[in-house]
Amino acid sequence: MSEQEVKILAIESSCDETAAAVVVNGRDVRSNVISSQIALHTLYGGVVPEIASRKHIEKINQVIAQALNDAGETLDTIDAIAVTYGPGLVGALLVGVAEAKAIAYAKNLPLIGVHHIEGHISANYIENKDLEPPFLCLVVSGGHTHLVRVKDYGVYEILGRTRDDAAGEAFDKVARAIGLGYPGGPKIEKVSHEGNPHAIQFPKPKVADGPYDFSFSGLKSAVLNYLNSCQMKGEEIVQADVAASFQNSVIEVLVANAMRAIDEYGMERFAIAGGVASNQTLRGAMEEACRQKGVKFYHPSPILCTDNAAMIGAAGYYDYMAGKRDGLDLNAVPNLKLGER
């Protein structure tokens, strides 16, 4: 290992993307290969865990070989292996974890188990070389909605979380209900451009005893009730208006909670992360709200918002620098909590 450079091979397989990347010193992405299973799961209207695991097994060696090749590296020239070990689908996670352990054992390389959400947060480091903790981060993905105070590298305080559905899950469920199919987020965003976000007044749910917590299942039910009532009354359902009005409610709640936390904790920097963070309307609303407060706003490119291994290489680097190492007994932890090891 050279003194200045830590080259990490990162692996991600927690859900429906098989991904590998080579990342140098946490922020310099030399390769980022993603094999998406979305087309496969679209047939079933959502991710089928068993199919996801099988597909990961099929793809993982190819994806790693491609990532090494794109970066001009081999297993003999990298310094450490980072792998997502939770949270996620257990069978899917196990594929990445087993692969990472095999490489670490065969090549005698340090192994670092990475938390998937820490990866999403760390995606912000890649294109924003000036971003350093402390900052506030809103993680909005298919499985998680967390408002996190990043106090230092690898040091997190969760200020708020969803009490029921994750933001991305709400997008996916509403998309299915209005006939857009899977994956819901990008489809809702697309049709929303043709809709009126104020056409239907859906609730903007607040959680009484948690100022930074979220609840999206009531909003989803309100959309379902609206659709039922239109059908019963024989009224026309304007798909684009339903999508735009739903998206508007989600965004209002996300912005309100984030801005409240920024004020309360006096944060000067705010970042968003996770699949839903690739939504341009959400980004625009967050950017404007931050501009009004004089807070610097960060977000990853869309390809680094949804699941990828570059973000795992970024988070893994800071874990590595903090001396975190895992043994060959590393296991997948499907419900791993943020900040837990």
189 binds ligand KG4 (CB under 6 A): yes
CB 50 within 8 A of CB 31: no
Among residues 162, 306, 309, 313, which is the contact residue for ligand KG4, using CB under 6 A? 306
| Cβ proximity to ligand KG4, 80 vs 304, nearer residue | 304
Residue 252: CB minimum distance to Zn ion, A: 23
The CA distance from 332 to 88, in Å, is 9
211 binds ligand KG4 (CB under 6 A): no
CB 174 within 8 A of CB 168: no
| Cβ proximity to ligand KG4, 80 vs 219, nearer residue | 219
Question: Interacting stretch for ligand KG4, rule CB under 6 A, among 20-28, 51-59, 124-132, 139-147?
Answer: 139-147
96 binds ligand KG4 (CB under 6 A): no
Residue 96, contacted partner among Zn ion, ligand KG4, none, CB below 5-8 A by kind = none
Query: DSSP string spanning 240-294?
Result: HHHHHHHHHHHHHHHHHHHHHHHHHHT-SEEEEESGGGG-HHHHHHHHHHHHHHT
| Cβ proximity to Zn ion, 213 vs 307, nearer residue | 307
Among residues 53, 141, 145, 162, which is the contact residue for Zn ion, using CB under 5 A? 141
162 binds Zn ion (CB under 5 A): no
Tallying the residues shown for the chain, one arrives at 341
87 binds ligand KG4 (CB under 6 A): no
The CA distance from 127 to 117, in Å, is 18
The CA distance from 316 to 327, in Å, is 15
Site residue total, Zn ion (CB under 5 A): 2
Residue 208: CB minimum distance to ligand KG4, A: 26
Among residues 96, 160, 183, 300, which is the contact residue for ligand KG4, using CB under 6 A? 183
Residue 276, contacted partner among Zn ion, ligand KG4, none, CB below 5-8 A by kind = ligand KG4
The CA distance from 67 to 104, in Å, is 17
| Cβ proximity to ligand KG4, 171 vs 298, nearer residue | 171
List Cα–Cα distances, 27 to 14, 21, 134, 158, 278, in angstroms. 22, 12, 17, 24, 20
Listed in sequence order, the residues at least 6 apart from 8 whose beta carbon sits closer than 8 Å to its beta carbon are 22, 23, 24, 26, 78, 79, 80, 81, 82, 112, 313, 316, 317, 320
307 binds ligand KG4 (CB under 6 A): yes
Residue 192, contacted partner among Zn ion, ligand KG4, none, CB below 5-8 A by kind = none
Residue 186, contacted partner among ligand KG4, Zn ion, none, CB below 5-8 A by kind = ligand KG4
Tell me how many degrees the CA angle 282-285-289 measures, rounded to the nearest 5: 140
248 binds ligand KG4 (CB under 6 A): no
Question: Interacting stretch for Zn ion, rule CB under 5 A, among 40-48, 283-291, 305-313, 319-327?
Answer: 305-313
307 binds Zn ion (CB under 5 A): yes
- Range list of β-strands (E), the chain: 7-12, 17-24, 28-36, 80-86, 111-115, 135-140, 145-152, 155-161, 269-273, 296-298
The CA distance from 190 to 238, in Å, is 14
Interface residues with ligand KG4 (CB under 6 A) are 15, 141-143, 168-169, 171-172, 183-186, 189, 274-276, 278-279, 306-307
